[in-house]
């Protein structure tokens, strides 16, 4: 028994464990090479849009308000000059039962777990998804375990993660807290195997399909209020499910001309699995430490084939700095009377800069907000940063160095959206895919990689 629980033995069984815990035989959609049938997987293993909307409606998820940021829009127009400054709208996902858009993902996943007869659900997450799964499990009468990467080797945990643990426990979940490192996936697999619970992964078709209702709704709401479709939708980008699901919903609503922009906090130079870097970042999600690796290799997730494939849908990718997001959090509260958590304000900071590039008659939607709390509040995060030796001051955000400083802008005109080279990321995805096989790519592989990178066969061949 001891040897069967060893790290090597458990990792060797991960495919078998995952198949039992998710209820999907991913081999049905694989070719034996790089290519797999993504759309068939999404169609056959999830639920259609109407079914998901009914599932969510039954538990009070979705149909959240679309709020117009009139004062923020006015400020953006003052800075942009004549004829510039798009109308800024925000989808208020904090109104969902667990306080974030991830209630949409969890509603579908937990409903499916109950339908299949599972007695409980498990999710590995340090973010809002844990609270969402705990909330939905309580509604469906299922047990819930949340596995968190919470502490560094000194036993010090980030206030935002500790706040989320408190919320998960308040909603009835058992929270297993771990130090940063490879043990997270090992413990996660071990718990799945020993309990026989459902893997309520962020990256299943149920989870990503649950976010499609968000994209569909915001298009419906913009059409109803303004008689048009949104020109740009900005999504906070981490693991890719948020952007992927929203973009798929936008397309299902028929808004094919709407551009989808991913936005992440710039944490360049910090490694997410590094013990010494873990508490030197002030954002636990929505940052480049997840946004770039998951975009260039989606199948690094906790299921064999991730349903989150952001490069298939992303028109543009931008970053903002930590200080700019904290500043925008305060601006949102002061100008619009809305106190929201950090992740949604990442896309809001980017949107504030992007709106100034756009015409006044255009419409820009920030597709989420999230709840805030004592540990998620900017004051808690900045105080924690200072205790960890991070310099916090007002100044020029361009001088900010992740892990060393957080620089809040002295004026809102200093907030910028910095371009990320999507073609570079596309080439990285192609290289990563080739490294996963020991033979030249097949014709089907080349076509698949063109779809994955939203390019064509010529681009793939040139990247090779």
Crossing angle for the helix pair 70-80 and 322-336, to the nearest 10 degrees: 120
Measured between alpha carbons, how far is 230 from 52 in angstroms, rounded to an integer? 23
pLDDT for the residue numbered 261? 98
Crossing angle for the helix pair 49-58 and 205-226, to the nearest 10 degrees: 90
223 is written with which tokens?
């059409």
Angle at 139 between CA 134 and CA 142, to 5 degrees: 65
pLDDT for the residue numbered 193? 95
pLDDT for the residue numbered 15? 84
Helix (H, G, I), strand (E, B) or coil at 372: coil
- The DSSP result for 34-83, as a single string, is S-B-HHHHHHHHS--HHHHHHHHHHTT-S---EEE-HHHHHHHHHHH-TT
Instruction: Give which of 382, 280, 246 is closest to 323, Cα–Cα.
Output: 382
pLDDT for the residue numbered 182? 79
pLDDT for the residue numbered 271? 87
Cα-based distances in Å from 99 to 107, 128, 163, 214, 388: 13, 8, 13, 14, 29
| pLDDT tens for the chain, residues 1 to 464 | 445 889 999 989 988 998 899 999 999 999 999 999 999 999 999 899 999 999 999 999 999 999 999 999 999 999 998 999 999 999 999 999 999 999 999 999 999 999 999 999 999 998 899 999 999 999 999 999 999 999 999 999 999 999 999 999 999 999 999 998 878 889 999 999 999 999 999 999 999 999 999 999 999 999 999 999 999 999 999 999 999 999 999 999 999 999 999 999 999 999 888 888 999 999 988 999 999 999 999 999 889 999 999 999 999 999 999 999 999 999 999 999 999 988 889 999 999 999 999 999 999 999 999 999 889 999 999 999 999 999 999 999 999 999 999 999 999 999 999 999 999 999 999 999 999 999 999 999 999 999 999 999 999 999 98
pLDDT for the residue numbered 1? 41
pLDDT for the residue numbered 3? 55
> What strands lie across the sheet with 174-179, from one edge to the other?
174-179, 143-151, 120-124, 198-199
Helix (H, G, I), strand (E, B) or coil at 248: helix
276 is written with which tokens?
């010494």
């Amino acid at each position: 028994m001891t040897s069967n629980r060893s790290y090597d033995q458990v990792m060797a069984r991960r495919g078998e464990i995952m198949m039992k815990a998710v209820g999907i035989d991913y081999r049905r959609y694989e070719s034996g090479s790089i290519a797999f049938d993504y759309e068939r997987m999404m169609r056959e293993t999830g639920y259609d849009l109407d079914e998901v909307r009914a599932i969510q409606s039954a538990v009070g998820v979705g149909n959240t308000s679309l709020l117009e940021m009139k004062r923020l829009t006015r400020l953006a127009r003052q800075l942009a000059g004549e004829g510039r400054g798009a109308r800024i709208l925000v989808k208020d996902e904090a109104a969902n039962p667990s306080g974030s858009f991830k209630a949409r993902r969890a509603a579908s996943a937990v409903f499916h777990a109950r339908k299949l007869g599972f007695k409980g659900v498990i999710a590995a997450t340090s973010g809002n998804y844990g609270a969402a799964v705990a909330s939905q499990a309580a509604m469906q009468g299922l047990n819930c375990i949340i596995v968190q990467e919470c502490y560094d080797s000194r036993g010090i945990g980030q206030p935002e993660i500790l706040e989320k643990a408190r919320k998960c426990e308040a909603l009835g979940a058992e929270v297993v807290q771990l130090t940063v490192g490879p043990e997270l996936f090992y413990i996660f697999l071990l718990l799945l195997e020993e309990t026989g619970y459902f893997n309520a992964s962020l990256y299943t078709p149920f989870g990503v399909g649950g976010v499609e209702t968000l994209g569909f709704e915001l298009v419906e709401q913009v059409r109803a209020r303004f008689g048009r479709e949104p020109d740009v939708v900005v999504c906070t980008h981490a693991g890719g499910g948020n952007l992927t699901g929203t973009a798929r919903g936008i397309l299902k609503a028929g808004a094919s001309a709407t551009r989808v922009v991913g936005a992440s906090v710039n944490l360049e130079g910090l490694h997410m699995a590094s013990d010494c870097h873990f508490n030197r970042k002030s954002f636990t999600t929505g940052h480049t430490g997840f946004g770039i690796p998951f975009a260039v290799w989606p199948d690094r997730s906790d299921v064999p084939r991730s349903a989150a494939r952001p490069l298939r849908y992303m028109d543009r990718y931008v970053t903002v700095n930590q200080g700019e997001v904290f500043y925008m959090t305060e601006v949102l509260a002061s100008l619009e009377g809305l106190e929201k958590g950090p992740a949604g304000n990442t896309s809001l900071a980017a949107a504030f800069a992007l709106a100034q590039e756009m015409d006044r008659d255009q419409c820009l939607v920030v597709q989420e907000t999230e709840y805030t709390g004592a540990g998620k509040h900017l004051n808690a995060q900045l105080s924690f940063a200072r205790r960890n030796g991070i310099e916090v001051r007002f100044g020029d955000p361009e001088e900010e160095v992740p892990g060393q400083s957080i620089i809040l802008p002295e004026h809102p005109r200093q907030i910028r959206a910095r371009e990320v080279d999507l073609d570079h990321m596309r080439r990285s995805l192609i290289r990563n895919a080739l490294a996963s096989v020991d033979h030249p790519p097949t014709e089907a592989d080349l076509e698949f990689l063109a779809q994955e990178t939203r390019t064509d066969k010529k681009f793939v061949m040139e990247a090779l």
